[in-house]
């Protein structure tokens, strides 16, 4: 009595599983095509000089978690076009800078974006100069700059090579003292230990940075430097020339408490209002 029942259950379960799979695939496809539709509408708006609408649509994509090189690229273009139109809004250049940096994060080979980013930075400095403000050029923290000389994986592979050299060297060191292999082992041990220590430490630092620091860009004319309670900090207290971060500046966000974000900018840390920043999407 039980056997026929089992036989009839199996095809039903298979069918329902297949249907579920099909539904999931279709839903995913529909969602993907919806993203494409929004992007196409944004592109049309951009070409029809309806920049605000294009920005709105591209921001919708961003809010939905769509991370694409071309979406960032067109968003940068839309903000730049609006910044140069009579409908420009404060922070448009900062938003363009953020979109270009995002594009470069997603695909570092985009030389046009790199070129445009340099021009946008110069334009922001020029506009600041027109307002009587000094162009503020602040280099990223030294450790961050060093770690970002190479991709995280490059440091990791270098550390692995160091580990391998050390292991081989340790094995060869046990050879008889008059053997050339022993000498090679000693050299490999020393070189491997140095490489492992150095590159391992940098790999660890890079990993910590990728986990704890989020790149962001200032998207207002001036992001005021605050303390953890939100009170404005004076430049004197921070030991810097300015008590604000200029538009378009790249910062690293290390913590947040809702409406405030702790950022590293140059050699110091401070809090700024989270609405003054745009966090960059990462692949």
Partner 1 sequence: MRAAALEACLLVAGVTLLASPAWAQVSIDLDVPATTVEVGQAFSVQMQALDSEGTPESPTLKAPPDFAVEGPSVGTNHQMSFVNGQITRRSGISATWRLAARRTGVFTIGPASVQTAKGRADSRAVNIKVVPQGSLPKRPQRGRGFPFDDDDFFGGLPGFGMRRRSLIDEMLGGQQEESEPQAPPEFALDQAPDSKGFVRAKAAPDSVVVGQQVLVDVFAYGSQGRFRENNPHEPRRSDFYSYTLVENSQQQPIYAVEIAGVRYYAVRVRRYALFPLKTGDLEVGPMQMSFYGSAYVTRTAPDGMVRQSPVLQIHVTEPPADGRPIGYQVGDVGDFSLRAEVSPRKLTQGESLSVTAFLEGSGNLPGHLLTPEQKGVTWLEPTIRGDAKEIREGVVGGSRSFTYVVKLDTSGDVDLGDLTLPYYDPASKSYKVARAGLGKVNVAARAASAAAAATGASAEQKRSLASLLSPAEELGPAPVASKPLPEHRFFWLALLGAPMSVIAAQTLRRAVRQVIARTQSKKDSLHRQYKDALAEAKTKTNAADVKAACGALERALYLGIEAHTKIRGRALVQSELILKLAQHGLSNEQCSALASLLAELDRLRFAPDAANPSELLERTKVALQALEKRRGNA
Q: Euclidean distance between the first and final Cα of the chain, in Å?
A: 56
Distance CA 16, CA 122 (A): 60
208 membership: H or E segment, kind and range: helix 180-212
Tokens linked to 18: 């297949």
Stretch that binds partner 1, among 116-124, 141-149, 222-230, 249-257 (CB under 8 A): 116-124
User: CA–CA distance from 52 to each of 93, 179, 236 (Å)?
Assistant: 14, 75, 40
Query: Binding to partner 1 by residue 263, rule CB under 8 A?
Result: no
CB of 268 to partner 1, least distance (A): 28
3-state SS class at 256: strand
Nearer to partner 1, 3 or 130 (CB): 130
Which residues are CB-neighbours of 205 under 8 A, at least 6 positions away? 143, 147
34 membership: H or E segment, kind and range: helix 2-47
CB of 21 to partner 1, least distance (A): 21
Tell which positions 182-241 bind partner 1, by CB under 8 A. Answer: 192, 196, 200, 203-204, 206-207, 210
Which residues are CB-neighbours of 281 under 8 A, at least 6 positions away? 62, 67, 72, 102, 105, 106
| Per-residue contact flags (x/-) with partner 1 for residues 61 to 80, judged by CB under 8 A | --x--xxxxxx-xx-xx--x
Query: Binding to partner 1 by residue 136, rule CB under 8 A?
Result: no
Nearer to partner 1, 127 or 242 (CB): 127
Binding stretches for partner 1 (CB under 8 A): 35-36, 39-40, 43, 45-53, 56-57, 60, 63, 66-71, 73-74, 76-77, 80-81, 83-87, 96, 106-107, 112-113, 115-116, 119-120, 123, 152-153, 156-157, 159-160, 163-164, 166-167, 170-171, 174, 192, 196, 200, 203-204, 206-207, 210, 258-259, 283
């Amino acid at each position: 009595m039980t056997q026929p029942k089992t036989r009839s259950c199996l095809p039903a379960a298979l069918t329902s599983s297949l249907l579920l799979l099909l539904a999931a695939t279709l839903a995913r496809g529909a969602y993907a095509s919806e993203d494409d539709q929004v992007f196409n509408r944004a592109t049309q708006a951009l070409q029809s000089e309806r920049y605000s609408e294009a920005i709105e649509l591209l921001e919708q994509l961003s809010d939905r978690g769509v991370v694409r090189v071309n979406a960032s690229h067109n968003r940068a273009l839309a903000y730049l076009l609006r910044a140069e139109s009579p409908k420009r809004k404060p922070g448009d250049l900062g938003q363009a800078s953020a979109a270009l940096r995002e594009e470069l994060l997603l695909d570092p080979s985009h030389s046009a974006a790199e070129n445009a980013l340099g021009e946008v930075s110069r334009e922001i400095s020029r506009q600041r100069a027109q307002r009587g403000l000094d162009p503020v050029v602040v280099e990223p923290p030294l450790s961050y700059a060093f770690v970002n000389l190479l991709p995280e994986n490059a440091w990791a592979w270098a550390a692995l090579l160091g580990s391998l050299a050390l292991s081989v060297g340790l094995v060869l060191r046990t050879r008889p003292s008059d053997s050339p292999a022993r000498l090679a082992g000693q050299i490999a041990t020393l070189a491997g230990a140095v490489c492992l220590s150095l590159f391992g430490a940098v790999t660890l630092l890079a990993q910590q940075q990728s986990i704890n620091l989020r790149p962001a860009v200032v998207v207002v004319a001036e992001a005021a430097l605050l303390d953890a309670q939100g009170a404005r900090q004076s430049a004197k207290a921070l030991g810097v020339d300015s008590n604000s971060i200029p538009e378009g500046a790249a910062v690293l966000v290390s913590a947040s408490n809702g409406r405030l974000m702790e950022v590293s900018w140059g050699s110091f840390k401070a809090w700024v209002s989270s609405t003054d920043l745009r966090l960059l999407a990462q692949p």
